[in-house]
Amino acid sequence: MTSVPGERPVTVEIRDLKFTYPGIDGHPPPGAKPLIEDFSLTLRAGDRCLLVGANGAGKTTLLKILGGKHMVEPDMVRVLGRSAFHDTGLTTSGDLAYLGGEWRRDVAFAGFDVPLQMDIASEKMIFGVQGVDPERRAKLIKVLDIDLNWRMHIVSDGQRRRVQICMGLLRPYKVLLLDEITVDLDVLARADLISFLKEECEQNGATIIYATHIFDGLESWPTHMAYVADGKLQLAKPIGEISDLKELSLMRAIEKWLRKELEEQRRIRKLRRAQGLPEYDRPVEGSRVAGGDPAKAQLLNNGWAGGRLHSTLAGEDKAQLYDLSSNRVLR
Ligand SMILES: Nc1ncnc2c1ncn2[C@@H]1O[C@H](COP(=O)(O)OP(=O)(O)OP(=O)(O)O)[C@@H](O)[C@H]1O
């Protein structure tokens, strides 16, 4: 971990990150355009970074990479000076925690994997986590206003979510990755959780990266903001250095960036259509299954689901059935 005397230690360091999802054969397709590239970001103990961007921009992917769920070269992502993917001790110790993902079905973080739908009391779930500071547990139960008699199979989504968040935060962490975890919380629970998390950073030097589309009540929460578009970091700065935030609210500033991004995408698509090119620049993911046929590969790249291809090839909407075994477009 890089640290200069007098400076807060670096906790998260992303350097020239490049990432491509594996294709159907488990390997990044040759020549595929990376989903994330040229991405660098450094955060220090105490920093709270809001990760924003349009749907599909790559926020979850980035958090999963940071959480050690996707493999990248060890030098590209360092958390507490260690490789998140290769050093499993980071997550098992609780120093690195990730909250998000398939919360409706499981508590799949902090080393647990517990179904949330069975008839079990919230107390049993929360007190079942071993090695927890009782004071911290009591505080979390209070902050999230959890009734220890809640039966997990009949509670509301928001109540279930509170229990999940509580369990995820029971062990103190040094770096916390939050992927849109507050969607179901009511205003009060959300506000209390947000201020609890802020306190954790200020008092314990924790670092939090929080990806969300809900900006209510977050005005004074982040110390940094990272804006991602199409897998690339468009902006990563301390809040005080973002000029739009001097004139606009958090929500308005983000709205302004996303509108600009959408207009630019529309402009590019129009240009491509006019040139007879595919509207979307997708990775050459389908090239292998398409047997090297660029037209078929393009069809695959334009999105196949269960064998049905939806293509916007040359600006024309097409839906075709594709037989993967014979590698043929059927109709
Ligand atoms: N397992 C996967 N394999 C291939 N592509 C994937 C996979 N998971 C996500 N993607 C693609 O990566 C892109 C980024 O997805 P990601 O979930 O990271 O976006 P996001 O910014 O979190 O979006 P949202 O705001 O909608 O949650 C999307 O185009 C998505 O289709």
Rounded to an integer, the average pLDDT of 205-228 is 94
C-alpha 52 – ligand 1 centre gap (Å): 14
Choose one of 52, 59, 98 to mutate for the ligand 1 pocket test, by most ligand atoms within 8 angstroms of C-beta. 59
Contact predicate 81/253, CB 8 Å: no
Instruction: Determine the Cα–Cα distance for residues 47 and 294; give it in Å rounded to an integer.
Output: 46
C-alpha 87 – ligand 1 centre gap (Å): 24
Instruction: Determine the Cα–Cα distance for residues 178 and 110; give it in Å rounded to an integer.
Output: 12
Choose one of 19, 36, 61 to mutate for the ligand 1 pocket test, by most ligand atoms within 8 angstroms of C-beta. 61
- Confidence at 117, pLDDT banded by 50, 70, 90: low
Instruction: Determine the Cα–Cα distance for residues 87 and 327; give it in Å rounded to an integer.
Output: 40
List the domains of the chain with CATH numbers: 12-105+173-274 (3.40.50.300)
Which H or E run contains 7? Answer: none
pLDDT tens-digit readout, 301-331: 444 433 333 333 333 333 344 444 344 444 4
**Pairwise pLDDT comparison (27 vs 216), residue with the higher score:** 216
Q: Give the predicted TM-score (pTM) of the model.
A: 0.80
| Structure confidence at residue 32 (pLDDT) | 78
Q: Indicate the average pLDDT of the chain.
A: 80
Of 133, 185, 196, nearest to 160 (Cα)?
Answer: 185
| Structure confidence at residue 284 (pLDDT) | 42
Choose one of 17, 19, 21 to mutate for the ligand 1 pocket test, by most ligand atoms within 8 angstroms of C-beta. 21
Predicted complex ipTM: 0.97
For ligand 1, atom 11, which residue shows the shortest CA distance? 56
* Token pair belonging to 3: 């640290």
Q: E strands within 45-134?
A: 48-52, 77-79, 82-83, 96-99, 106-107, 114-115
Rounded to an integer, the average pLDDT of 247-270 is 93
> Position 302: which residue type?
N
pLDDT tens-digit readout, 151-209: 888 888 888 889 989 999 999 999 999 998 888 889 999 999 999 999 999 999 999 99
